[in-house]
Structure 1
Amino acid sequence: MLFSYQQITLDTFHTSWLPEGLEAALLRLDQLHPAISGNKWFKLKYNLAAAKAAGATRIVTFGGAYSNHIAATAVACKMAGFAATGIIRGEQPAIPGHTLQQAAAHGMELVFVSREDYKNKYDPSQWYYHQADTLVIPEGGHNAAGAQGCEEILTIHPTAGYTHILCAAGTGTTLAGLINQAAPSQQVIGIPVLKGAQFLEKDISDLLRPDHTAQWRLLYDHHGGGYAKISPGLIDFINTFYQETGIPTDIIYTGKLLLAFRELVQQGYFPDNSRVLLIHTGGLQGNLSLAPGTLAF
């Protein structure tokens, strides 16, 4: 299963808060596919190829009840001809949300485990590590194959002229791929969307190629209260950004990324004549958890 990247655009945008002398553009990975959106496909691509090469017929992966990774994996597995099992963190809800409904509708078997048991998901004694027909993909696609796929993100359009590359970080897989591919003159900046995410330093470093040359850093103060924490200010920012640019973003990743970018701009973080590339990692399905009419798109 392969996707053409032709529909992914590189959109230079202008807003009321961007100063002259600073250029900013969004790489629109959200345009790739309605369900296997954004960076999710890049993290799945080589994992699914490995499963096929190994003769596996089932994919097992992990995530929460609103996980973009779970939703995307369910659809990708159906399209590629794999059975799929999702190990879901937390008790089964009485009324499943849209993510779980979508995953089940595409044939994914959902196995709910307690939050305590979920911590042991990578224990080698777990049943799914002992099934000859099964390949296990870590939560969020966080492995070397996931990072390898994310290296392709910077090859879709010419990006060597950008001085800074900004991306939201959950597991850090996408950021690792970007760092591996970026030029020595580029600074790659990750915006963790989790509170207390200093562990990402090691998780990212473990996925970096020894020959990577780009500078990189994580800025930890832009999580907005923690993972999936939503404020009226964030909603207002997302709506205003859409009204000014016509670009929809999500409440978990790219919305917070752009809000962090605005804060950095206002702090004078970027030198004059900087060219900033921001990665739109998709995940718009996450907005479906909001009440209708909350967002302007």
Structure 2
Amino acid sequence: MDPGQQLPTTVTLQLPSPLLEVRDDRLDAAGIRLLLKRDDLIHPELPGNKWRKLKHNLAAAAEQGHDTLLTFGGAYSNHIRAAAAAGHHFGFATIGVIRGEEHLPLNPSLAYAVGRGMQLTYLDRSTYRAKHTPAVIDSLRRDWGRFYLLPEGGSNHLAVRGCAELPTEIDETFDVICCAVGTGGTLAGIAAGLGPHQRAIGFSALKGGEFLADEVTRLQTRTYGRCSDNWRIEYGYHGGGYAKTTPQLTEFASDFAERHGLRLDPIYVAKMMFGIFDLAARDNFAPGTRIIAVVTG
């Protein structure tokens, strides 16, 4: 039995998530077919890769007898929000370790997390950079007791296995699958779940995100004992850096919403979609290529 199904919950998840085609004259001119994997519709509070990353971690926490989840994130982290929601729905207490100093009143993201029962604590930026070290983890255990540790962004070997399930839901034939990249876990899993002759392209949401290739390699190797060679990361579509944008990117997202009735998340998804359309315009995809774009939130 799938361990994720043993969790006590009344949450209704839309799985598999819908697959919807985008018809656009720019793609037609390039001879490309584009379909959106609407993971943002899985659940309002646990959308997209957030549920896929959390699923097997929640099961592992329950099986190990934990009643508390602790995780890390910035002040506007979607992962912090999702972890708080997961704790609320699946019966775990939650602790959010936030980068930087406390600022009151809380911003909407942190206020939402607190509203879902999460307790917040803060680490200065220097200590936060060492959050993965035994010294910092031991200090948190002394302060907060026993907890199940979720890494920043939720990306670990269990998250990779959850994301690897995504391609198996797709009953359309395709050549390329695209996703945004923040910590590398989603791309690592999706690429691992692909069939022969399929490949994955990640679009970094971070300026200076070249380290993400090492993270994808590390996560795949930790999970499967090896790294696949069917993926790559595009680094030129970050829009200035995390949570930043450019007039060109903003205009593209606005035009996409008018054409297709879908507002794209500006931090991750809009950058990926802009990258897909730009690569298509530059003839980076052969005519006839069938592309899946994962809408994570």
TM-score normalised by L of structure 2: 0.90
- Correspondent of 1:150 among 163, 173, 177: 163
Per the alignment, residue 111 of structure 1 pairs with: 121
SS in 1 for 2:81: helix
Per the alignment, residue 247 of structure 1 pairs with: 262
Q: Number of paired residues?
A: 281
For the pair 1:274 / 2:289, whether they are aligned, the reply is: yes
* Residue deviations 1:221-260 (CA, integer Å, cap 9, x gap): 1111111112232222112111111122101010110011
- Correspondent of 2:105 among 95, 109, 113: 95
Per the alignment, residue 207 of structure 1 pairs with: 219
SS in 1 for 2:97: strand
* Residue deviations 1:17-38 (CA, integer Å, cap 9, x gap): 2134210011000001112111
Question: Could you tell me whether the CA contact under 8 Å between 2:205 and 2:238 is conserved in 1?
Answer: yes
Quote the offset at 1:90 in angstroms: 1.0
Quote the offset at 1:16 in angstroms: 3.7
| 59-68 or 147-156, larger mean C-alpha shift | 147-156
Rounded to whole Å, the distance in 2 between the matches of 1:136 and 1:128 is 10
Per the alignment, residue 68 of structure 1 pairs with: 78
Per the alignment, residue 128 of structure 1 pairs with: 140
SS in 2 for 1:48: helix
For the pair 1:180 / 2:180, whether they are aligned, the reply is: no
Rounded to whole Å, the distance in 2 between the matches of 1:25 and 1:215 is 20
Question: Could you tell me whether the CA contact under 8 Å between 1:181 and 1:212 is conserved in 2?
Answer: no
SS in 2 for 1:201: helix
For the pair 1:190 / 2:205, whether they are aligned, the reply is: no
Rounded to whole Å, the distance in 2 between the matches of 1:132 and 1:224 is 40
Per the alignment, residue 5 of structure 2 pairs with: none
SS in 1 for 2:158: helix
| 45-54 or 200-209, larger mean C-alpha shift | 200-209
Name the structure with the higher helix share: 2
Structure 2 stretches lacking a partner, 5+ long: 1-8
Partner AA of 2:70 in structure 1: V
Partner AA of 1:24 in structure 2: L
Question: Could you tell me whether the CA contact under 8 Å between 2:13 and 2:43 is conserved in 1?
Answer: no
SS in 2 for 1:247: coil
- Correspondent of 2:54 among 44, 51, 54: 44
For the pair 1:10 / 2:19, whether they are aligned, the reply is: yes
Rounded to whole Å, the distance in 1 between the matches of 2:25 and 2:150 is 42
* Residue deviations 1:26-69 (CA, integer Å, cap 9, x gap): 10000011121111010011111111011011100000011010
Rounded to whole Å, the distance in 2 between the matches of 1:44 and 1:199 is 23
Question: Could you tell me whether the CA contact under 8 Å between 1:185 and 1:214 is conserved in 2?
Answer: no
- CA-based RMSD of the aligned residues comes to 1.7
Per the alignment, residue 291 of structure 1 pairs with: none
Quote the offset at 1:109 in angstroms: 0.4
Per the alignment, residue 240 of structure 2 pairs with: 225
Partner AA of 2:196 in structure 1: P
Rounded to whole Å, the distance in 1 between the matches of 2:171 and 2:227 is 19
Rounded to whole Å, the distance in 2 between the matches of 1:172 and 1:260 is 17
Quote the offset at 1:216 in angstroms: 0.9
Rounded to whole Å, the distance in 2 between the matches of 1:148 and 1:129 is 27
Rounded to whole Å, the distance in 2 between the matches of 1:177 and 1:62 is 21
Structure 1 stretches lacking a partner, 5+ long: 283-297
SS in 2 for 1:221: coil
SS in 1 for 2:43: coil
1:18–1:59 CA distance, 2 compared to 1 (3 A): same
* Residue deviations 1:156-201 (CA, integer Å, cap 9, x gap): 2314x21111111000100011011011201111111111111111
Partner AA of 2:102 in structure 1: Q
1:210–1:162 CA distance, 2 compared to 1 (3 A): farther
Partner AA of 2:146 in structure 1: D
Rounded to whole Å, the distance in 1 between the matches of 2:170 and 2:284 is 25
Question: Could you tell me whether the CA contact under 8 Å between 1:144 and 1:207 is conserved in 2?
Answer: yes
Per the alignment, residue 57 of structure 1 pairs with: 67
1:73–1:168 CA distance, 2 compared to 1 (3 A): same
Rounded to whole Å, the distance in 2 between the matches of 1:63 and 1:16 is 39
